[in-house]
Homo-oligomer: A and B are copies of this chain.
Amino acid sequence: MPERILIIGGGFGGLACAQELGGTDCSVTVIDRRNHNLFQPLLYQVATAALSPADIAEPIRKTLGRHRNINMIMAEVVGIDTDRQQVLLDGGERVDYDRLVIATGSEYNYFGKDGWRANAPGMKTIHEARQIRQRLLSSFEKAERAHDEQEKRNLLTYVVIGGGPTGVEIAGAISELGRFMINRDFRHIQPDQFKVILIEAGPRILAAFPEKLIDYARHYLEKIGVEVRTGERVLDVTSDGVTVGSEFIRTGCIVWGAGVKASPAHRWLGLDAVPGGRIPVDDQLRVVGHQNIFALGDTADFKGTDGKPLPGLAQVAKQQGIYLGRYLKGGDANPAGFAFRNRGNTAVIGRNAAIFDFGKWTLKGRTAWLLWAFVHVYLLINFEKRILVSIQWIWRYLTRQRSARLIEEGSIRETDVTASSIIYSVTGPGGDR
């Protein structure tokens, strides 16, 4: 009987690992609760109506389907029985494995306030990106119809919580989208009624980057109209606003980008006390204490050469997935263990503005932005997506138009079941049938 390798999670790491194992003698099964792999670095462009979900998401079956030794199950994992070597699914099924790979990624950390989630979606799933897009576009429509000056200002205030790359990217994109729409497409709202606020609890935005890139980014954000507030802590998030210190900011849309935590996979192994939820692994990505279980990417606590855990980046997961795939098939994996090769850390701030940190040298401005665009198109999963995204980007660069400005009828009222405020209900200003 062929060796059964089970991979939980079809993200960058799990998929890279599975692809390495394609066409081998192993019997590989990938389990994911979604049917698609999502290119999260571009999800903020879906949220700001620049791209469609399908441009950055690929069905896992489509990616793996041609390998007859790979099987996929769309299911939720609820536990691992390490004694019997079985993974437990939501439907009660058990799936046997000889070796197991845990690649379940990370999720947003609401610091114990899970009630905030519905009011401030993050940037992890297509559903969240669509929610943000709906709220963003609807708030403009409502502001256009509003008669009260203060109400217009409230609706046109956007709060982004968290000053990491995701927060910076979405704040910049909202600011550019809003200014373009107000100038061209709306008649009853003015640019000075529109405001984007980026809130960071720490002393600096983009804390992982060198000082001079941070200064450039902050300066650029302020130039395109983003109010950057550092050292301010969010105390409460409701459906119509955010409490920062003693101030309550009324807003048309809140976006969460404030820190992630590992997925709860560590609990399946009884590792409840692991700090940050990351599973300790050895040099071969083997889970400490388990000969036949491996973890990678955001799920694994793998220390870099500086003794700190590797950052939660797609490139880390992908490199580890390839390494592990080769290791599992007994190929040319380095017996000295996995070593991360830093491909550079980047964030895009706006049109013609991005930053790159390659460790020894840095890049900023238009050159960095062009490099960012090329790299991200290249990283897309296949030729078709690369062409489609390239065309939309070139078109947008030339016209400043965004092609996916859709408020989908019906969906807001029904999906925002937890948000009771009329602010987010499209039933008021129309759109529902």
| A residues in contact (CB < 8 Å) with B | 32-36, 52-55, 57, 59, 61-62, 65-66, 71-76, 89-91, 93, 107, 125-127, 130, 137, 141, 144-145, 181, 184-187, 384-385, 387-388, 391-392, 395, 401, 403-411, 414-415, 417, 428-433
> A65 near B185 (CB under 8 angstroms)?
yes
A288 to B321: give the CA distance in the assembly, Å: 71
Q: What is the copy number of this chain in the assembly?
A: 2
- Structural contact, B62 and A145, CB atoms closer than 8 A: no
- Minimal beta-carbon separation of A204 from chain B (angstroms): 31
Whether the pair A145, B430 counts as a contact (CB closer than 8 A) is no
Residues from chain B with a CB closer than 8 A to the CB of A126 are 406, 408-409
Contacts A35-B431, A91-B145, A411-B127 given; indicate if A406 touches B54 (C-beta within 8 A): yes
Chain B residues with Cβ below 8 Å from A186 are 61
- Nearest residue, chain B, Cβ from A126: B408
By a CB distance below 8 angstroms, the chain B residues around A65 are: 184-185
Question: Which of B35, B71, B89, B141 sits near A74, CB closer than 8 Å?
Answer: B141
Q: Which residue of B lies closest to A29 (CB)?
A: B187
- Are B53 and A406 in contact, with the CB atoms below 8 A? yes
Once the chains are docked, how many angstroms separate the CA of A54 from the CA of B428?
Answer: 24
User: Inside 8 A of A405's CB, which chain B residues have their CB?
Assistant: 35-36, 59, 61-62
Are A127 and B410 in contact (CB-based, < 8 A)?
yes
Q: Could you tell me the distance in whole angstroms from the C-beta of A176 to the nearest C-beta in chain B? A: 16
* Given A54-B52, A388-B392, A415-B414, A428:B91 Cβ within 8 A: yes
Chain B: CB-nearest residue to A75: B430
In the complex, residue of chain B having the shortest beta-carbon distance to the beta carbon of A32: B430
**B73 contacts A145, C-beta separation under 8 Å:** yes
Asked if B392 and A391 sit within 8 Å, CB to CB, the answer is no
CA distance A433 to B387 in the complex (A): 32
Q: How far is the CB of A315 from chain B (nearest CB, A)?
A: 24
Contact A71 B187 (CB under 8 A): yes
A74 and B406 form a contact (CB under 8 A): no
A181 vs B74: C-alpha distance when bound (angstroms): 15
Q: How far is the CB of A404 from chain B (nearest CB, A)?
A: 4
State how many angstroms separate the Cβ of A263 from the closest Cβ of chain B.
Answer: 10
A-B contacts besides A35-B405, A65-B185, 5 pairs, CB < 8 Å: A33-B432, A35-B406, A59-B185, A90-B429, A125-B433
- Residues of B within 8 Å of A53, CB to CB, are 52, 404, 406, 408
Q: How far is the CA of A433 from the CA of B145 in the complex (A)?
A: 35
A59 partner residues in chain B, CB cutoff 8 A: 185, 405-406
Among the listed B76, B184, B408, B429, which residue makes an inter-chain contact with A430, where contact means beta carbons less than 8 Å apart? B76
Q: How far is the CB of A426 from chain B (nearest CB, A)?
A: 9
Q: Which residues of B contact A57 (CB under 8 A)?
A: 406
Decide if A184 touches B403 in the complex (CB within 8 Å): no
B62 and A401: CB pair below 8 A? yes
Chain B residues near A76 (CB-CB < 8 A)? 429-432
Closest 4 CB pairs of A and B: A52-B52, A54-B404, A61-B185, A65-B185
**B residues within 8 A CB of A392?**
384, 388
B-side contacts of A431, CB under 8 Å: 33-35, 74, 76
Shortest beta-carbon distance from A328 to chain B in Å: 21
Q: How far is the CA of A403 from the CA of B53 in the complex (A)?
A: 10
Complex alpha-carbon distance, A411 and B428, angstroms: 21
Minimal beta-carbon separation of A402 from chain B (angstroms): 9
Rounded to whole Å, the gap between the CB of A94 and the closest CB of chain B is: 13
Q: List the B side residues contacting A411 at CB < 8 Å.
A: 127, 130, 411, 415
Please tell me if the beta carbons of A73 and B184 are within 8 angstroms of each other in the complex. no
Closest to A55 in B: B52
Q: A291 to chain B: closest CB distance in Å?
A: 28
